[in-house]
Amino acid sequence: QKEVEQDPGPLSVPEGAIVSLNCTYSNSAFQYFMWYRQYSRKGPELLMYTYSSGNKEDGRFTAQVDKSSKYISLFIRDSQPSDSATYLCAFPGTSYGKLTFGQGTILTVHP
């Protein structure tokens, strides 16, 4: 079993839709949770970084963590064509921050 499973997609949604991206993990050592966005031919860009179970909101983005179920989600409200990218969940599993990534979900938002 992989340490991290991410819904593979790809996802294609109309502009304005609510998008839900999800990851499950098996490693109890994961205590921090990140979401990165990666545009084509660019490096990953940090979107959200959370520690606690519950929700964290930043503009149109909400990160949700359920530690008891080992499940994290990223919601995008009022999606825009500029949100079209690959979204990666990531988990630092060591004291020095070595990241374990999900496989990524390709999202396309069409006008």
Partner 1 sequence: GAGVSQSPSNKVTEKGKDVELRCDPISGHTALYWYRQSLGQGLEFLIYFQGNSAPDKSGLPSDRFSAERTGGSVSTLTIQRTQQEDSAVYLCASSLDHSNQPQHFGDGTRLSIL
Helix or strand (DSSP H, E) at 50:
strand 45-50
Residues binding partner 1 (CB under 8 A): 32, 34, 36, 41-46, 49, 88, 92, 94-104
- DSSP structure string for 55-68: EEEETTEEEEEETT
What torsion, rounded to 10 degrees, do the Cα atoms 46, 51, 54, 60 define?
-20
Longest dimension (CA), the chain: 43
Name the minimum Å distance from CB 42 to partner 1: 5
Name the minimum Å distance from CB 99 to partner 1: 6
Name the minimum Å distance from CB 69 to partner 1: 22
Residues 36, 45 contacting (CB under 8 angstroms): yes
- DSSP structure string for 34-45: EEEEE-TTS--E
Residue 4 vs 79, nearer CB to partner 1: 4
Residue 71 vs 101, nearer CB to partner 1: 101
Name the minimum Å distance from CB 81 to partner 1: 21
Residue 74 vs 88, nearer CB to partner 1: 88
Residue 79 vs 86, nearer CB to partner 1: 86
